[in-house]
Structure formats: C-alpha cells, structure tokens
Amino acid sequence: MKATTLLTRQHRKVEGIFKKLENGRVDPLPLLDELSNDLAAHMAIEQEIFYPAVKAVDEDLILEAFEEHSLAELALKRLLGTDPSDPSFKARVVATKELIEHHVEEEEEDLFPKVEKKLGEERLLELGKAMKVRFDQVVEAGFDAAVPKGFAKTSADVTKPRAKATSKTAKAA
Ligand SMILES: [Fe+2]
Ligand SMILES: [Fe+2]
C-alpha cells in the first residue's frame, strides 16, 4: 500500500475512535487505549520514516507537522490523565480531536498531494511497506514505550534531530 494511502486510512480510523469517545455510549477506557497506541504509532512512522523521506517537498510544512505532533501528544497525555467521570473529560476529548483534525487536514490537503506529485508510485509503495512494519511494532509496544514520560519533551522533540540526520544521509547517498 502507498505510504499516503496507509496514513490516510489510519487518519480515518482515529476519527472513528474519537467519534465513539464523544458519543459516550461505550466504556471509554479501551477506546483511549486503542487511540493512544494508534496515535503513538502513527506519529512514530511519520516522524521516523515518512517526514524525513518527504522533507524536500516542503521543509516548512514538515517542521510545522513536528510541532503539531508535539501539541497533539501533550493534549493526549492530558486526556489520558483525566478520569472519564471528570467534568472536563469530554472537553479534553473534543479539544484533542480538533487539534488532530487540523493537522490531518493539512496533511491530506496540502502535504500528501505534493508528496504524491513528487515521489513515484514505487517509492511510495516501498515507504508504505516499511511504515506498516514499524506501525505494528509500535502498537505492540504501546503508547508508554513510544513516547517520553512527562510534559517536558515529546516524541517529536526526540525524533526530529534524528530525522534531520536521516534525511542528510539519504541526500548524500
Ligand atoms: Fe502527522
Ligand atoms: Fe498523519
């Protein structure tokens, strides 16, 4: 599957989980678990593989994406630390969803079309394959293993310098 198709499908899945959380008709705890694992893995494959590979398409957009991931991760941590009976729980679900919605919109309407224009089908398939393998690994390991503890640093902060090095190596090769 093409990298952009894989990421778009994952976006739809996350939207579905948010919808269920907002409805409030099912136990939120398993949903939060699924949401956090999916989002940690989705952000990991973008930060570690996809963004470095497509950075040349629009460097500013990629830097912005790393920042938006940081904010989404912090919002998600606040949400995970909130008891579902807390009066602010639903508000935190909605606020986190809206942050992510905005980011997803930029990816799908701006970044992905540019990437699809610039990278060939073969390269997108190759990236998609590597990303799917890494996604499954991160989901399996879980949110806590994928993101730094506390609120001082996000997974984007940790990955960005490595992503830079990777893209330099890729350019040099
Ligand atoms: Fe993203
Ligand atoms: Fe994404």
Domains and CATH numbers, the chain: 3-172 (1.20.120.520)
22 token code pair: 């907002």
The pLDDT, as a whole number, for residue 86 is 95
Ligand 1 center–CA 65 separation, angstroms = 6
The pLDDT, as a whole number, for residue 161 is 79
Give this prediction's pTM.
0.92
Ligand 2 center–CA 172 separation, angstroms = 27
H helices present in the chain, as ranges: 3-23, 28-45, 51-54, 59-80, 89-106, 112-118, 121-141, 143-146, 155-172
d(C-alpha 53, C-alpha 45), whole Å: 11
The pLDDT, as a whole number, for residue 104 is 98
Provide the sign of the torsion angle of the four alpha carbons 86, 87, 90, 92, taken in this order. Answer: negative
Ligand 2 center–CA 163 separation, angstroms = 16
The pLDDT, as a whole number, for residue 171 is 47
Give me the average pLDDT of each 10-residue run along the chain (173 residues).
98 98 93 98 98 96 97 97 95 97 98 96 98 98 94 93 63 44
The pLDDT, as a whole number, for residue 166 is 59
